[in-house]
Amino acid sequence: MKRILTAVSLMVWMFVVAAHGQSSTPTPAPELKVRSSFPKVTIANSELRTIKSTSNGRDYDLYIHIPKQYDKDQTAKYPVLYVLDGQWEFGLVSQVAASLIFDQYMPDVIIVAITYSGENADYDGLRAMDFTPAPIEGLKGSGDGPKFLKFLKTELIPFVEASYRVDPTRRVLMGASFGGLFTLYAMFSDPSLFSAYLADCPAIVAGWPNYSFFKQEADYARVHKDLAVKLYVAAGGWDPLSGPTQEFVHIVRSRNYEGLQLESRVIEGERHAGSVMEAFTRGLRFLFSEPAAQP
């Protein structure tokens, strides 16, 4: 009996070794490399430019995506997407645009995503300064929206249009949260600067002692009958900003602005950050859609 058990044990051991394709000698673990020794993953057809603003003294990094065919056709000119919060949105917008271009919902575009220079840039603090039209209690340095708008108009856009082959009649400004607020603020401050605007979950209610976004819109409506732009506005259904956003859309629709093409959406089941992908996808599809045929 003992011999039988020994033989069975030997057979089991041989089966296990054969099944795993290994010997009894353990394989040494691979040597771990320092992470910094591996090459970095980059977004194809993209480049980094920097610009120092004389309007507010800040240094900006520009993440710029160039169409694949840019160097092959020297006569082609491209629409430009100016994307706020580039440190977070550049990769997302690049992928969304690539998908829409592949599906032929929009043309090839140049993407200019705006962010701040420096390895340890205080993104939250800096965007709170640049994207707010007036000081907000508790936000140090806030209220530089007018300076940032001047930077876009007099420095950034001229820089981009002198550096790349762009179609100056097809500029799009897009942003979310504070970036969405600034997008709408820019639209009512100088509508013709961009041909289209995309605002997701715009922070249009905040503790401004001397500014009201709704008052800015009302002041614009008192002296203008037209608003010749395409506008897409969205908010997550579970975002506290959804109510004010829908109120804004209702007011703007009631104005019957001449030339305005407006589409809005409440993205059900999403909160503040979760709405961004769908908002950008549907928004860009709308902004680049052809006008409906007249009956």
pLDDT for position 26: 60
Return the CATH number at 182. 3.40.50.1820
Whole-angstrom Cα distance, residue 159 to residue 163?
Answer: 6
Q: Looking at the domain assignment, is residue 3 inside a domain?
A: no
pLDDT for position 139: 83
Q: Mind giving me the DSSP string for 116-172? A: E-STT--HHHHHHHHT-SS--TT-TT---HHHHHHHIIIIIHHHHHHHS-EEEEEEE
Report the predicted TM-score, pTM, of the whole model to 2 decimal places.
0.86
Sign of the CA dihedral with 242 first, then 100, 51, and 120 last: positive
Whole-angstrom Cα distance, residue 77 to residue 290?
Answer: 18
Q: Looking at the domain assignment, is residue 213 inside a domain?
A: yes
Please name every residue paired with 83 in a beta bridge, in sequence order, or none if there are none. Answer: 113, 174
Structural domain of residue 122, as residue ranges?
32-287
Q: What is the pLDDT of residues 138-195, one digit of tens each?
A: 888 899 999 999 999 999 999 999 999 999 999 999 999 999 999 999 999 999 999 9
Q: Looking at the domain assignment, is residue 10 inside a domain?
A: no
- Cβ neighbour number for residue 27 with a 10 Å cutoff: 7
Q: Which of 92, 82, 198, 182 is nearest to 142 (CA)?
A: 182
Q: Looking at the domain assignment, is residue 227 inside a domain?
A: yes
Q: Looking at the domain assignment, is residue 18 inside a domain?
A: no
Q: What is the pLDDT along the chain (295 residues), one digit of tens a residue?
A: 444 444 434 343 333 334 344 445 566 666 656 666 788 888 999 999 999 999 999 999 999 999 999 999 999 999 999 999 999 999 999 999 999 999 999 999 999 999 999 889 999 999 999 999 998 888 888 999 999 999 999 999 999 999 999 999 999 999 999 999 999 999 999 999 999 999 999 999 856 777 889 999 999 999 999 999 999 999 998 999 999 999 999 999 999 999 999 999 999 999 998 899 999 999 999 999 976 443 3
Q: Looking at the domain assignment, is residue 6 inside a domain?
A: no
Q: Looking at the domain assignment, is residue 81 inside a domain?
A: yes
Q: Looking at the domain assignment, is residue 292 inside a domain?
A: no
- Cβ neighbour number for residue 278 with a 10 Å cutoff: 16
CB 123 within 8 A of CB 87: yes
Looking at the structure of the chain, the number of domains it has is 1
pLDDT for position 4: 41
